[in-house]
Structure 1
Amino acid sequence: MSPRSPALATGRDAEDERPAIAPFWHRLNSFFLFPFQMEPLIYAALLALASYLLFLPGIITIFVVLGLVLGASRYAFKVAALASRGVLHSRDYTAALTDPDWKVLPWKFFGVLVVHGLLIGFLDRQSEGLGIIARLVSSLLLPATLMVLIQSFSLRAALSPFELLATMTGIGAQYLLLCLFLFLLMEGFPQALGLLLPITPRWLLLPVGVFAVVYFLWVMAALIGYVMFQHHGALEIDLLREPEPEPDAATAARPVKTEAQVRDAEISALVQKGDLKEALSQAREWARVGFDSLPDQRRYHRALLLDDPASGRLRDHGQRFIPLLVAQKHGPEALQTHAALVAKLPDFTLEKPEHALGLAEQAWKALDAEQTIALLRGFDRRFAGTPQVPQAYELIIRALKQGLARGDKALPVYQALQRRYPDHPSTQEAAWVLRDELGKAGA
């Protein structure tokens, strides 16, 4: 490797350079324009044209209605889920970023609405005032419910007051502002429809109405996803795309260099002069003092990548640096760091089971099934008898089934898990993931 490393030469730290995310009310135009991006526009047009099938006779109408509702709502959940992780434009949507579990979220949300309706009905029978309060509380909780469903895929979590309260407090006062904007959007829908229908030809009334419904639904989805993205730190969401700088922020000059930038520049200058020994010594000292400082640990890691791997310093530091990245919610960087370490040290593995499992979980959060499996290969042998083994089995099963659609390969893994840990919660979760395969095997 050349002594002039680009990472060192820039004199900048990734964390210090990460731009702030603009509040959602600064980007309202982007939400209203989202359904007119190429992919959602084509999909919305197809749904609108499919509405002509409602004129078919008999029970077919019910299936058409169900298909339209599911098609629009599933895409809405996809839009919100990807936006929450920083993927804000449909051109960046790929099959690898799509989670099969999103398909069931509309059904789970419908389950939440049923529970809310039953509670509202019960309280309404007790007192009209209680019914009104219940409706207001339900309306206030629905955005948080959608957020919890997107993050957890769990109906139980979406009904848990503790999960909902944690989400609302994580967003803070802006949550109430979000509710206000969503209310205005719902109120604006009939107004927009009232303006459109009188000027629409009669034969286009039905598709135009369907398109308007889909349009407002996806605008709200983009808005909710962006608010989650804006507060991804408080909601513990790992990003797939880093935030882009606002135009003004991108051109504004930084008047004062940060301490991290000064230190980066100093190490870069030493490396460029060929004094790697002094660069390593200085970077190591800063890393020793700032043991939990990501800029200091990053700088030392970059310097160690220029060092002789046989010294053992790179391997030793990697055992501490990767867990620090995971602990501080920098999953994508942890995976990149692991890849860089393996490139220099092909036999590098994390020595503690909780660290190895944590890194694999980051790979799964990034929807990289193959890397998830690779990171967990041989886990049960390397960490035999540790409490993390059943969790590793479960994650392998999820990656095979949900990531690679290889339930046949996941079934033997489940059988080993069930045989060794029959009563473990991970065994029960794995059984749910493989419910179709297990049902066929039972039959």
Structure 2
Amino acid sequence: MGLSRSQPEVDNDSANWNIPPFWHKLNSFFLFPFQRTPFMYAVVLSLCAYAMFMGLLIGIAVFVGLMLAVSRYAFKAAAYASRGVLDSSDYDHYPLDADLKVLPWKFFGVLLVHGFVIGMLAQASLKLGVLGNLGSSFLIPVTLMVLISTGSLSSAINPFILLGTIAGIGLPYFLLCLFLFLLMQGAPMAMGFLLVLVPKAMLAPLMAFVIIYFLWVIAAMIGYVMYQNHAEFGIEPDKAPEAEGGSTVQIDPQAAEAKRRDAAVAQLVQNGDMQAAQDEAREWQRLNYDNVADQRRYHRVLKLTDKTAELARHGQQFIDLLLRKQQASEALEVWGSCYKRMPGFKLESAEATLALASTAWKRQQVSHALAVLQNFEKNYPGSPVIPQAQELIVRVLKQGLGKPDQAVRVFMRMKMRHPEHPSTQEAAWILRDELPQDSTKPTAPVAPV
């Protein structure tokens, strides 16, 4: 299917994407807080600053609440930017799996650790304390990146992980720190102007807005640097970089969500927590019974367990879904997985069984075709597709396995029970060299199954 000029073709392999460096996107970072959703949220939070003057306890509670709300949205903006989603209006289309609500608390824990180390260094020497403070400032951006990508406090304070991440990013990390330093100088300068120009009644919310503005600009910039280095952080982007003319090629949100769920379950399996992996995959497939990716994930997890009965039960509905979605080749593979674990496995539908056998025959998987059709007449008594199935058995035995004698025996049963059926006539044509001449006289060849 062709793509229009506004949607140019982009390599789906994100490792090959040419993502512009963050200094080419500065305007988008500075404009991010003015997008409709973050702007309205920032205004509401800024107005809450009035409540800080309603008493000491209320003021402390409001301050803590504001800091939590502002920092949570900052982490959210950075997390989305790390996946290439720079427009807040797209957030609902790309749900995040990670729980970002706890990250501000974990970041506070990182700051406590940094403060403890800086305090120890300052006790030993004032110069060491200054160096420790500079080192902490240098590590804050990468700490935020590691927290967003892993959600792990231990990883965020591990110097080897932090330095390894910096080495992976390279020189752009030092440039990022320079830009962030300049941004941090911008906030007090803006507040200085407000103190001179703004009436005191409006000072509190406007100063709060300035702080929110610069924090969210910083978050968007840090997230974008993660997007530039998404392979380093193990991130699967949701959007490709902007193409010529400013258009953005979107990745199918469902495909992106499927990849994230696959990665989450794979991580549980890798960690040896098979029960959690099975529970997670089972819940997704239960909620999305018509979603091939969710059903496929659950099938793969079941293959790693000893729950043969559940594998067979789920295999029935998964094969039916694949056939309805016209994915017969994968349906045959699922059947093979179930049959291997349960040799007596058979589908509930005669039509589905015949469709699988026909797919196996077309793919030259002769043994599979015959195994699918085994005991067909016994398994589906009275089915109207029995003659077609027997015709396919004749074809497999004669043309696939070179066993015309067995094929003739099947044909004789067909001739006795379905003498006028087109499939019986076609079977006679297939066996024209093995049967007497009068057995094939009445017919011309019928299109093969």
- Please report the TM-score for the alignment, with normalisation by the length of structure 1: 0.57
Instruction: Indicate which of 192, 197, 221 corresponds to 1:194.
Output: 192
Rounded to whole Å, the distance in 1 between the matches of 2:10 and 2:39 is 39
Cα gap change, 1:385/1:192 in structure 2, threshold over 3 Å: closer, same or farther? same
Do the aligned partners of 1:21 and 1:245 also contact (CA within 8 Å) in 2? no
Cα gap change, 1:381/1:80 in structure 2, threshold over 3 Å: closer, same or farther? closer
Instruction: Indicate which of 21, 34, 46 corresponds to 2:32.
Output: 34
Do the aligned partners of 2:258 and 2:294 also contact (CA within 8 Å) in 1? no
Do the aligned partners of 1:170 and 1:235 also contact (CA within 8 Å) in 2? no
Q: Which residue of 2 aligns with 1:14?
A: 11
Cα gap change, 1:109/1:384 in structure 2, threshold over 3 Å: closer, same or farther? same
Q: 1:12 Cα shift?
A: 6.6
Structure 2 matches for 1:350-429, cutoff 5 A?
374-377=295-298, 381-384=302-305
Q: Which residue of 1 aligns with 2:183?
A: 185
Amino acid at match of 1:171: I
Instruction: Indicate which of 68, 71, 77 corresponds to 1:70.
Output: 68
| Corresponding residue SS for 1:247 | coil
Structure 2 matches for 1:130-149, cutoff 5 A?
130-149=128-147
Cα gap change, 1:99/1:71 in structure 2, threshold over 3 Å: closer, same or farther? farther
Q: 1:212 Cα shift?
A: 0.5
Rounded to whole Å, the distance in 2 between the matches of 1:62 and 1:334 is 43
> What residue ranges of structure 1 are gaps of 5+ in the alignment?
251-330, 339-349, 387-443
Rounded to whole Å, the distance in 2 between the matches of 1:175 and 1:130 is 24
Q: Which residue of 1 aligns with 2:223?
A: 225
Determine whether 1:171 maps to 2:92. Answer: no
Rounded to whole Å, the distance in 2 between the matches of 1:334 and 1:82 is 17
Rounded to whole Å, the distance in 1 between the matches of 2:204 and 2:10 is 54
> What residue ranges of structure 2 are gaps of 5+ in the alignment?
249-254, 308-449
Amino acid at match of 1:38: R
| Corresponding residue SS for 1:243 | strand
Rounded to whole Å, the distance in 2 between the matches of 1:142 and 1:113 is 9
Do the aligned partners of 1:74 and 1:103 also contact (CA within 8 Å) in 2? yes
Rounded to whole Å, the distance in 1 between the matches of 2:256 and 2:196 is 51
Amino acid at match of 1:384: T
Do the aligned partners of 2:46 and 2:209 also contact (CA within 8 Å) in 1? yes
Do the aligned partners of 1:19 and 1:244 also contact (CA within 8 Å) in 2? no
Q: 1:59 Cα shift?
A: 1.6
Q: 1:332 Cα shift?
A: 3.8
Stretch moving more, 17-26 or 144-153: 17-26
Cα gap change, 1:244/1:11 in structure 2, threshold over 3 Å: closer, same or farther? closer
| Corresponding residue SS for 1:219 | helix
Q: 1:11 Cα shift?
A: 12
Rounded to whole Å, the distance in 2 between the matches of 1:113 and 1:79 is 21
Q: 1:334 Cα shift?
A: 8.2
1:98-151 deviation line (CA, Å, top 9, x unaligned) = 446100000000000000000000011011121121111111111000000000
Q: 1:373 Cα shift?
A: 5.5
Amino acid at match of 1:129: K
Q: 1:235 Cα shift?
A: 2.6
Cα gap change, 1:246/1:108 in structure 2, threshold over 3 Å: closer, same or farther? farther
Rounded to whole Å, the distance in 2 between the matches of 1:178 and 1:11 is 30
1:372-404 deviation line (CA, Å, top 9, x unaligned) = 854443556422269xxxxxxxxxxxxxxxxxx
Rounded to whole Å, the distance in 2 between the matches of 1:189 and 1:6 is 48
Rounded to whole Å, the distance in 2 between the matches of 1:188 and 1:12 is 40
Rounded to whole Å, the distance in 1 between the matches of 2:90 and 2:143 is 26
Cα gap change, 1:111/1:335 in structure 2, threshold over 3 Å: closer, same or farther? closer
Cα gap change, 1:95/1:197 in structure 2, threshold over 3 Å: closer, same or farther? farther
Amino acid at match of 1:135: N
Amino acid at match of 2:11: A
| Corresponding residue SS for 1:97 | coil
Instruction: Indicate which of 43, 46, 49 corresponds to 1:45.
Output: 43
Amino acid at match of 1:33: L
Instruction: Indicate which of 232, 246, 256 corresponds to 1:234.
Output: 232
Number of residue pairs the alignment of both structures matches? 280
Cα gap change, 1:220/1:335 in structure 2, threshold over 3 Å: closer, same or farther? closer
Q: Which has the higher contact order (CA 8 A, sep 6+)?
A: 1
Amino acid at match of 1:14: D
Cα gap change, 1:206/1:86 in structure 2, threshold over 3 Å: closer, same or farther? same
Rounded to whole Å, the distance in 1 between the matches of 2:236 and 2:139 is 23
Cα gap change, 1:79/1:11 in structure 2, threshold over 3 Å: closer, same or farther? closer
Q: 1:27 Cα shift?
A: 1.2
Q: 1:29 Cα shift?
A: 1.1
Cα gap change, 1:72/1:333 in structure 2, threshold over 3 Å: closer, same or farther? closer
Higher Cα radius of gyration: 2
| Corresponding residue SS for 1:53 | helix
Do the aligned partners of 1:80 and 1:222 also contact (CA within 8 Å) in 2? yes
Do the aligned partners of 1:32 and 1:219 also contact (CA within 8 Å) in 2? yes
Do the aligned partners of 1:53 and 1:64 also contact (CA within 8 Å) in 2? yes
Q: 1:193 Cα shift?
A: 1.1
Amino acid at match of 1:83: A
Rounded to whole Å, the distance in 1 between the matches of 2:93 and 2:146 is 23
- Please report the TM-score for the alignment, with normalisation by the length of structure 2: 0.56
Q: 1:35 Cα shift?
A: 0.5
Q: 1:81 Cα shift?
A: 0.4
Cα gap change, 1:57/1:165 in structure 2, threshold over 3 Å: closer, same or farther? same
1:41-95 deviation line (CA, Å, top 9, x unaligned) = 0000001111111122242222111110001000000000000001001111117
